[in-house]
Structure 1
């Protein structure tokens, strides 16, 4: 029998959010949740924009640069090599546009990759998909599988830092170093990394991007793209900007009369995380995810997947025949939400889909017990 680790509530955690208490929010990894202090800062910025639009928008580029510098300090990044973007998919398109690709060049991805990010690669070159068995035991096995799939035509490796459905590290520093040694440009999807990992940019990929609105407590639509010095001169915004003459990063950040309040408030999220003690928050969230996974592992037919210690998400395989297609996974997810008011990710996979649970400071141990109590009848 699986040992279920004991976990307690994070003091004051739930009161920092406006989430309805009538729903168990166990899916922080999909959309995140904005703490009240960050909401208040964004609301004040929006009021400022409404009060004097000319002053707000004329000052926006410099204020965005100042906010970016604060984010860079939290991430250990070079502020001149970091840019705000709306999300990971936008960042992937900007990064791939900056890589010179010729006919016959290939982009390597894995079958754990996020759909729209992989689609960005498919628009630009032939895509080779590496099949990573979710039961691969550790990072070494993942690394060896990825390296074995390289061909002389592999120009780019587009890899998850932490995979979204299976909640495991793929683009580990050793793998990135070995890809660089082979002359492969590395593009890393770190959507779940800011706020979850202590050293988000470990491995120093050619291009790395991450969402701030998940584990970094920023408003929705807040993400960053980090670019190594050798590639910055080739970065172009997807849409021409009045800041193009400044080059990266300002060229990709200014979008005329866009809503910049989320970006300007984004540093408040990482500041809050630091005030709460980021290491303490990460440990608490990882313990919650482990607690929930252990409870679900007691359900017959569910198999925990290998994972990296310290992540605030854990995943399990569902029994064969369950959630094997996108439609079936969506139906099960919506049934859990409608009948039991529990938000959780169900992901499709041949031979049996999966379920991912997340831990966040607003969660309570009994919410995972509630999921474990109702899931067997739904699977039956």
Structure 2
């Protein structure tokens, strides 16, 4: 297949190091220059008069941004709070659900590692049990839904499901899973959607999913500064949300109790609408089509060079290439290999281990070009044989 045509001028919107092929946008994003400048103006305002910045109208400014961002993801602005990232939102959820000994928290084996760590800590604290549902590498919607449904027991209290899986770059049928949990459990079990990658690439209005909790990052695919995420909470849970940090706003209740924590740097949140402006200026659908096509092109070029078979594409701006079984999927080995690829080839990639297998994850964003993937395809086979 051929690569898509670059979007005119899109590469000039970013300050990325031109000597590096940046193929890991899904990890930390890349903040457009216009958004960097908007945030710097906010920093200048803050440092020019900190007392005024933090004491005159800041909560109203945050609420205004929250309403704007909530509308973008189709969430109820009164039931949505700005938080730093998806991990923070998930920790808030785990701290707000009342677990008893032997209660069960269900995740899939496609879940994010930091979420697993947070679940493990919750289980140590409460006596709850973490159960992991095994799902194939490239499942269809019915397979995923059936696997979750079959894993539910009378002790299930929380089901955590990814809308886009970080390690395997798959889209999971969140709405069907929520429906299955409701049919099995009623209100006995809550559903938390880890939508870290969803804002900007999926058209799934949060309010229509029916989940109890949803958290999504805007710094990955919506061009916001890092440290910008949304936590959406169903009405039945809003009075039970527990803040990780207690501050003067605790009495305000959700969402204000999560958003106002004193001398915090709020400039990423306040600059986030500029990121949406950049995305809309390029054309949201245009960006999605371009990135999905470029990610698929990159996957095929690199897989062809390695002689690897790849799972079916999903229309995402992220794809995976399974590396040979001889390449270790252990965390330390994966981290060392990723560093070697960066240092020796000048290519930043995502690299994870899944069921002991090393998976190369390739992202595509409007600043990428076909030659970025070609550079990796030319150098990676030799690097892996050394």
Q: TM-score range by the shorter chain?
A: over 0.9
Query: 2:74 aligns to what?
Result: 76
Unmatched 5+ stretches in structure 2: 123-127
SS in 1 for 2:225: coil
**Residue from 128, 131, 135 that aligns with 2:131:** 128
- Residues 303, 318 of structure 1: 8 Å contact kept: no
Question: Separation in 2 of the partners of 1:344 and 1:229?
Answer: 40
- Residues 330, 356 of structure 2: 8 Å contact kept: no
Moved over 4 A (4+): none
| TM-score, scaled to structure 2 | 0.94
SS in 1 for 2:379: helix
Q: 346-355 vs 326-335, which deviates more?
A: 346-355
**Residue from 243, 246, 252 that aligns with 1:246:** 252
Question: Separation in 1 of the partners of 2:354 and 2:309?
Answer: 14
Task: For residue 301 of structure 1, report the CA deviation from its aligned partner.
Answer: 4.3
**Residue from 367, 380, 383 that aligns with 1:378:** 383
Query: 2:324 aligns to what?
Result: 319
SS in 2 for 1:8: coil
Q: How does 1:206-285 map to 2 (within 5 A)?
A: 206-285=212-291
- Residues 70, 230 of structure 2: 8 Å contact kept: no
SS in 2 for 1:89: helix
CA distances 1:17-50 after superposition (whole Å, capped 9, x unpaired): 0101000000000000100111111000000001
Q: 182-191 vs 199-208, which deviates more?
A: 199-208
SS in 2 for 1:123: helix
Question: Separation in 1 of the partners of 2:21 and 2:29?
Answer: 14
Structure 1 pair 316–140 and aligned structure 2 pair: CA distance change class (3 A): farther
Question: Separation in 1 of the partners of 2:45 and 2:338?
Answer: 40
Query: 1:7 aligns to what?
Result: 4
SS in 2 for 1:210: strand
Query: 1:111 aligns to what?
Result: 109
**Residue from 340, 350, 359 that aligns with 2:345:** 340
Q: 344-353 vs 284-293, which deviates more?
A: 344-353
Task: For residue 133 of structure 1, report the CA deviation from its aligned partner.
Answer: 2.5
- Residues 85, 225 of structure 1: 8 Å contact kept: yes
Q: 96-105 vs 220-229, which deviates more?
A: 96-105
Structure 1 pair 104–353 and aligned structure 2 pair: CA distance change class (3 A): same
Task: For residue 121 of structure 1, report the CA deviation from its aligned partner.
Answer: 1.7
Query: 1:362 aligns to what?
Result: 367
Aligned residue pairs total: 375
Question: Separation in 2 of the partners of 1:236 and 1:294?
Answer: 46
- Residues 26, 357 of structure 1: 8 Å contact kept: yes
Question: Separation in 1 of the partners of 2:167 and 2:355?
Answer: 14
Query: 1:145 aligns to what?
Result: 147
- Residues 323, 354 of structure 1: 8 Å contact kept: no
CA distances 1:231-258 after superposition (whole Å, capped 9, x unpaired): 1010121111211111100100111111
Task: For residue 139 of structure 1, report the CA deviation from its aligned partner.
Answer: 2.1
- Cα RMSD for the two superposed structures: 1.4
